[in-house]
Structure 1
Amino acid sequence: MKLYFGIVKLAIASAIACVIPRSRDIWVVGGNKGLRFADNSMYFYLYCLKNTDKKMIWLTRSNSIVEEVRSKGGDAYINTSLMGLYYGFRAKWHVFDVSKGDTKIFSSKGANLFNLWHGYPLKDIRRLKAGNPDGVNLKGWKHLVKTKLLGQRERSDCNYVLWQNEQYVQHALDSFDVKPENIITANLPRNVVFEDGFDECYYLSDAAARASEKLVSHKKNKQKIVGYFPTWRGNGYDLFMGVADRESIERLNEFCESQNIVVVTKWHTCLYKDYQHPCESSSAEDITSILTRMSNIEVFGFELDLNSILPKCDLMISDYSGAIFDYLLINKPLIFMAYDLENYTKEWGILFDYESFVPGDIVKNLDDLQQCLVHYVADPENFSSRYEKQRLEAKAEIFERADGNSAIVEQMQKIV
């Protein structure tokens, strides 16, 4: 029944799209399935709102996001409301960072579909092009109807995609259904946070501003801010630095106290129940309940935009997350907690040779991690210099352009 209803909706959307002309002066933007005002879509929207003459509309499923966008001087609507559908059908561009479902699939028919994506990938995302983002075995005529007729390969189904370089553009072509000439090359919109003169008051949400204040307070107490931001594994079971038990986390916390370190952490967006992902984590919530009781571990939630706090981290620990590439832009040290490297490589695949590519120490357990952190605290400058050459080389390799939002807008405006 859902399949037939989808076909009817497609027919209606096609008919409406033929009748209502799309305007080059109206751009609609959305993000994270319409559930968050964050990440690349948010930074792009706010930049355009302030620096272009386009009618910028944010489409969402959340009333609280409508209020937040309007508090910043923007226009926002529920994507199924009358005004939301009107602007959805009128806009020449639908811009998103996960899938066209971020704005509204129904009203995107006939528009330019531009996927900003949500970070430069270290893991192999080529399964997206097969309409199989979650690794589910999809077969049969129903799958063909959904992917070919109804366009439900949401994440890969776009006309345009943002990529950060030309050297590895084949990775983009292997992952998204776009023509080579429809690759827009620029830095990520969210990396405006690393630019001189970044306007925190304008860009940061209330949640991000509160988080930033906490980190500033820790710095005033001469504490080192160590960020730990793991990626999504998609198997429903996640660990914190390779552990899930209270005893191990308490030992880590005691170590941090002794070294005057505060670990700040946030799970990948897909792990939260709020995101309504079919592979949400069964373990993250229990681990979080332990972490929140620790004196030297600061846990941030679903609503926080990760890049808003990256500049205040003195060191980042990650695994296979695209956040490591963003962090290269400020040339601070990285440690790679790859406790499941073999399994992750087998299940997902990695686009580079991990052990030779990553610009930092690779550790696989808490003991080795703590040894690295002891060396860092003892002499931060020397610790940072050990991999500085590799960090700068990786930065130049991935980010061929420093400009992000302005370069994106310039290229969009040239497209008829």
Structure 2
Amino acid sequence: ADISGNFEYVYNEMLRQNLDEKYKIHCLFKSNISARRNFIDKFKFPYLLGKADYIFVDDFHPLLYTVNFRKSQEIIQVWHAVGAFKTVGYSRAGKKGGPFFNSVNHRNYTKAFVSSETDIPFYGEAFGIKEQNIIPTGVPRTDTLFDKNYEQQIVAEMEEVLPIIKGKKVVLFAPTFRGNGHHTAHYPFFKIDFARFARYCRENNAVVLFKMHPFVKNRLRIPREYEQYFVDVSDMREVNDILFITDILISDYSSLVYEFAVFKRPMLFYAFDLEDYITSRDFYEPYETFVPGKIVQSFDNLITSLDNEDYELEKVEPFLDKHFKYQDGRSSERLVRHLFGS
């Protein structure tokens, strides 16, 4: 419903550089993907598309792709994910839910900004745009991950909001959704053995935070007897803030692993449906050699790896250096200077 993610960081950087004196900046948001635009916005949106010199998007935006923009207009994609993990856009042509080659989706971006040179060919393929228009400035919303002052502040805030984490080892369980887009998104919670997870927490002075993908419709039901070990934080909007308090990340195919790599902490990949996922969604690079941590395909192996602290941590630093060209917290500044030359 309001500004967040890459938009927020780009906007704040524009204000810092006093660009609001040169440009009139408009914002138009919806509270969720299914919400209808209000009456005024239905008129305001096409009006602004016609008037704007610069148009920022951070996701798939079907209303933009059939518009004939002026040659002088910049359509700028600041994609919401870091890196190129799961295939998107034209990389999914021929797969269920993927576009046809003659589709107009994505093709009218004049620029896209990415985290490193590694991502350029993948984003070029995904969006159907020239690689020279994809610029590796770094991803704006990752700037806070390198900010030590912000880290101290957010850890203190998180301990206020989640007193359960104080003095505990924090495990974040943050998988992506299953299904074909937001209409069918779900997660198979029967793949989690809560009793064994609780036993691990009890023996290791740990708590588990569950952060489900925003698209997931089926809600997590935490059994009452385990409420002292588990918390559902799915409604927390800014997942990056949760990473600061996380000691171990358990994920699967989520691009969150890029952000978490910045902390050089352990990760486990609970990929119980890897073969199915490769068939339906696939990755830009082979999953087994790509992910920065140990892959486990059963809950037994997940718990065993946690018990033995077997994370294959040595994979994290090379992954970070490959996928973050800059590790200085100044990506927003580079992006804004590139676009506006200030």
The answer to whether TM tops 0.5 is yes
| Residue 264 (structure 1) aligned with residue 209 (structure 2) | yes
Q: Would the alpha carbon gap of residues 251 and 185 (structure 1) be closer, same or farther in structure 2, given more than 3 Å must change?
A: same
Deviation string 1:335-358 (CA, Å, 9 cap, x unpaired) is 111111111112111222222222
What is the CA–CA distance in structure 2 between the aligned matches of 1:108 and 1:49, rounded to whole Å? 30
What is the CA–CA distance in structure 1 between the aligned matches of 2:260 and 2:132, rounded to whole Å? 29
Alignment of 1:109-258 (within 5 A): 109-110=69-70, 111-119=73-81, 120-127=83-90, 130=93, 135-136=96-97, 147-148=103-104, 153=105, 155=106, 157-197=108-148, 199=150, 213-215=160-162, 217-220=163-166, 222-235=167-180, 236=184, 237-240=186-189, 243=191, 248-258=193-203
Match of 2:277 in 1: 344
Measured after TM superposition, the shift of residue 333 of structure 1 is 1.0
More helix by share: 1
Taking CA–CA contacts closer than 8 Å with sequence separation of 6 or more, which of the two structures ends up with the larger relative contact order?
2
What is the CA–CA distance in structure 2 between the aligned matches of 1:232 and 1:354, rounded to whole Å? 17
SS of residue paired to 2:90: helix
- Are the aligned partners of 2:264 and 2:316 in contact in 1 as well (CA < 8 Å)? yes
What is the CA–CA distance in structure 2 between the aligned matches of 1:200 and 1:49, rounded to whole Å? 23
What is the CA–CA distance in structure 2 between the aligned matches of 1:156 and 1:305, rounded to whole Å? 29
Deviation string 1:172-220 (CA, Å, 9 cap, x unpaired) is 1111132222112122112122122555899x9xxx99756334x3443
Q: Would the alpha carbon gap of residues 60 and 305 (structure 1) be closer, same or farther in structure 2, given more than 3 Å must change?
A: same
Match of 1:94 in 2: 55
Match of 1:322 in 2: 255
Deviation string 1:217-260 (CA, Å, 9 cap, x unpaired) is 3443x1111111112333434224x616xxx3244234323322
What is the CA–CA distance in structure 2 between the aligned matches of 1:314 and 1:296, rounded to whole Å? 15
Q: Would the alpha carbon gap of residues 78 and 331 (structure 1) be closer, same or farther in structure 2, given more than 3 Å must change?
A: farther
Over 4 Å off, 4+ runs: 81-88, 104-108, 197-202, 208-212
Match of 1:387 in 2: 313
Amino acid in the other structure paired with 2:270: M
Measured after TM superposition, the shift of residue 105 of structure 1 is 7.0
Measured after TM superposition, the shift of residue 334 of structure 1 is 1.0
| Residue 398 (structure 1) aligned with residue 330 (structure 2) | no
Q: Would the alpha carbon gap of residues 105 and 349 (structure 1) be closer, same or farther in structure 2, given more than 3 Å must change?
A: closer
Structure 1: segments with no counterpart, 5+ residues: 1-34, 64-76, 272-280, 377-382
Aligned length: 324
| Residue 289 (structure 1) aligned with residue 221 (structure 2) | yes
What is the CA–CA distance in structure 2 between the aligned matches of 1:291 and 1:406, rounded to whole Å? 46
